[in-house]
Each structure stands twice: as C-alpha cells, then as structure tokens.
Structure 1
C-alpha cells in the first residue's frame, strides 16, 4: 500500500490511521506543488494507492482512472469535481482523517481506538476549536515534524500528552507569545466590503489568525503572508462568517470557509503586497 497525503495535521492524521491499519505501507507527504509529480511517480507500480486530504489535476485524474486500484479522500470544495470518478470521494462535511477513518474502520477493527484521535483532528482542521486538545495536537505536529508525529500516534492513538510533550507545548506557547508581540498588523477593506487584517509572518499562521480575530472582533478575516517562502504562501483565517475559501479560489488556492490559503509568485506577489501596504497600520 502507498499513501500520498497532505503536509498538515489532517494529512498526518491520515498517515497515522493508514500506518496503524497496514503492516506494510509507504507514506509520501507532500504539498499541492508536488502532489501531481508524486502520484505520477508511483502510478507505474503495482501497489494500491491511497490519496488523502489533497487532490490532483484533471490530467493526473484521467491517468488514475485508466490505472485503477486508487482511492482518493478529500474535503476541499475546490476538489469537488473529482466526485465524477468512482474512486474519489470529496465531501466538505468532515476532514480527510475522518473520511479515511470511516473507510478503513469498516475492515480494520483495530482502528476503532483511533476514533477520539480522529475527532480531535477534525475539530482542528475544520476550524471548530471546541476541543482544546486540537490546538495542542497541531502544535505537537509542528514541533515533532510529520514523521515523528506519525510514528508516535500510530503506536498510541490516545490524545493524552506525555510529560515531556507537555513541556514542549508550554515552551512553544511562550515562543508564540513572543513572536506575535513583534508583529505589526495592517488593515484594509476588500472589494466585497469586508474589513480585514494582514501580517507578515513565516510561522504560526493558525495561531496568529485565531489570536488576531479574537483581539479584533470588527475584522472579518486575517491574511498571514509568508514573504520568506517562495512561492509566497498566503494563509487566510476567519470566524466562518466570511468565506475565505472563496477568496483563496480567486488566486488558485482553496480550503475551508474559515481556513484557506493560496500561493503567489513574482510579480503577482509584489502587486498584492503593494496594494495591501497602502492601507492603514492598525
């Protein structure tokens, strides 16, 4: 079995379940820039393939359709067109980890003990934030990196943090506080009349989005621009009343109603930033 999955917490959650379900599995973790090439590289082999929390281009989808022995589970609205294929399921009602859990637990009873883990990942990825453990789980994923995280939770799916993990989480909380205290925010109004804030930051996009939305309740959403990454990554966060996935789609990205993103290259990046930078500092 081969798993190709996204490089965020939800993608790692899918890898945790697949690793726990299959004795032999090869896991590829990738972003949208690499997913098509990654899928293309493995299509010529004989293995069954799972693709989770990420989608492919129409050209690759046609190759998959001719090949067979592939299952794709995603939940991003921008990938809904893949539902035309019998091997794909794209449903935004829950995260990729939840979709994979519902699929694998039918034939792998040992995955039942990962039900709570799956629910915590779903809480974070859909930006529900009803379970305080979900933010901590995402932080731990960031601290450990995807491969250590997958190894740790595939062996023990209980979302109970060990003493050393709690220490790491506490230290990370201090770093986040120090980091966000150094940032300057800028305000503006988009073409739809929504007030927004944007900051330049290369780390902690979701943490910053949540903090800024709580601090500034009058703003509909937040843009976090990673100007040190190329292509430049732009993350969008809202409370859900502004559909940031729709904004991201205008720039070739996607996501959820409350959490989305896109990437831009020169000269588009400078044009966007110059337009934002003319707004007023908050």
Structure 2
C-alpha cells in the first residue's frame, strides 16, 4: 500500500487523481504546507510500503524522523524541496507543475497514462500561470466548486476530454460570480509601500487568490499583492515577474513560487505586526 500525501490545491489533488487511477492501492491525504510535518509524525509506517509526497515537501526535521523506517519519494516543483534530491528519491523540476511530473513518473514506470495528457497539460497551464488555455482557469473553477472528493471521483472515473454540459453550466455561472467578486474585492483593499519602496496591495478575500492578485497587479499597477483569507487562516502572495514573494512566505513558515506563494497563520496572527515587519508606509 502506498501513502500519497499531496497539497490540497488543483495541482496537488490532480497528482492524486493520477496515482489513484493508475496505482490503485493508494491512500490519499491532502493538506496545506504547514500540516505535512504533523501528518508524517502521526503515520504508522507499518501500514505502508512507501510514502509519496507531491507538490510540497516536509521540513528536514520531519523527514529525518522517518528516514530509514520507510521509503519516501518526493515529486515537487518548488525551490524549497531542492535539498531532498541529496537524500531520497526525488523528481524535481521548477519549470513544470507536480501533476506533470507525476504523469511522467508514472509513464517511466510503464503505465499507459496517455489518456490523461489533456488534463495534465490543462493543470500545468493553470498552476504555472501560463494561461494559454482558456479551459485552465475554468478547470480550477470546477475544482473549487466540486471540492476534493467530487473532483477526484470525476477524473479518476474518466479522463478529461472537455467539459460536459453540466460542468460547463457550473463554469459559466461561476465565471459570472468570479468577475463580480474580483471587482468588489479590488475596491476594498489598501495600497501601501514597503521598506524597499515597492508598491503592494493588501486585501481581505476568501476566493480566487490568483485571479484577484493578477487583476490588482495589472489594473492597479502594484508590485505585489497580499491576500488575507481569515476563514482559512491563510495568506496568499502574488507578484509581478521581477518581484520574489516566495522569501516572504518562507519567513512566515510557508512556501511556493517566486511570483505565487503563501503561508498559513494561527489565531494570534496580527495583520499590523506582519505589515510592520516589512516596513510598511501606509498610503491611505
């Protein structure tokens, strides 16, 4: 039996679709970045032959606790997991999403995964924020509306060959709601400047972090955006190409990519303390 631990976003869950479809004997667990160490600490290694971690990585301390007890494989595309290549089997490439890397890993094992190529390319287009395909943003909408279990069930049962009529209706309705939400949210935030003279925008929002961040950066000409989700206790960071927000996420226990990162927070998180730490000058 394989234990597959993965991030709980579109990319991470799509990795789970592939392992469930082609490996069968799999237990899937989905979590945030700050939860993986706790999950690894609670595992009964006697129940599993090996552990697969995709689209995220544990801390060195959490990994070392299990080292020697069970085989651990990591498939990831974040800079923060580079160190794992020296001590365990690791598939690592920052130019492609974890779903794409998992797809290629399965193909190298001799699995005929070709029927899932379109889904994999769609997820890669969204997660790497290429947005060359119209359906990649729509796929993330569908994922958000279906939730993890329904999304898993839908795509494990059959590959992606375009949305069916019911799925397209969900996407169309959600597109209308998203556009209204982004417009309203972008009017409710605060423009600020950090200690390095960079312009950023802070906004409280619970949905569409990537789309909202992209809209604010382009339309309001910001260097980066801080999106605070109080419901999920999560901060999402988005930036223009030249600005690296991953380091800010890592300083707060999170991770991600140069232009798209994030971290989770606890009940005692103070927004003003966080902003003060990056040297905020409030503009209005």
Q: TM-score, normalised by structure 1?
A: 0.90
- Give the corresponding residue for 1:262: 263
Shift of 1:149: 0.7
Stretch deviating more after TM superposition (98-107 or 263-272): 263-272
Aligned-residue CA RMSD (Å) = 2.1
- Give the corresponding residue for 1:7: 8
Closer, same or farther: CA 63–277 of 1 in aligned 2, 3 Å:
closer
- Give the corresponding residue for 1:47: 49
- Give the corresponding residue for 1:244: 245
- Give the corresponding residue for 1:172: 174
Q: Pick from 149, 155, 158: which aligns with 1:156?
A: 158
**Residue 200 of structure 1 pairs with residue 204 of structure 2:** yes
Closer, same or farther: CA 267–115 of 1 in aligned 2, 3 Å:
closer
Matched ranges for 1:203-282 at <5 A? 203-216=207-220, 218-229=221-232, 232-265=233-266, 266-272=268-274, 279-281=282-284
Distance in structure 2 (CA, Å) of the matches to 1:46 and 1:179? 44
SS for the counterpart of 1:50 is: strand
Deviations 1:228-273 (A, max 9, x none): 33xx311111232211212222322211112111233425444125
Q: Pick from 58, 61, 75: which aligns with 1:59?
A: 61
Deviations 1:51-88 (A, max 9, x none): 11111121221133212332111111122222221323
- Give the corresponding residue for 1:137: 139
Distance in structure 2 (CA, Å) of the matches to 1:44 and 1:154? 27
Shift of 1:205: 1.1
Closer, same or farther: CA 277–162 of 1 in aligned 2, 3 Å:
farther
Distance in structure 2 (CA, Å) of the matches to 1:264 and 1:256? 19
- Give the corresponding residue for 2:86: 84
Distance in structure 1 (CA, Å) of the matches to 2:241 and 2:252? 19
SS for the counterpart of 1:172 is: helix
SS for the counterpart of 2:95 is: coil
- Give the corresponding residue for 1:38: 39
**Residue 125 of structure 1 pairs with residue 139 of structure 2:** no
SS for the counterpart of 1:29 is: strand
Runs (4+) of structure 1 moved beyond 4 Å? Answer: 273-278
Distance in structure 1 (CA, Å) of the matches to 2:194 and 2:108? 46
SS for the counterpart of 2:242 is: coil
- Give the corresponding residue for 1:99: 101
Q: TM-score, normalised by structure 2?
A: 0.90
Deviations 1:124-175 (A, max 9, x none): 1112212221111111110000111111112222241111111111111122
Structure 2, unaligned runs of 5 or more: none
SS for the counterpart of 1:128 is: coil
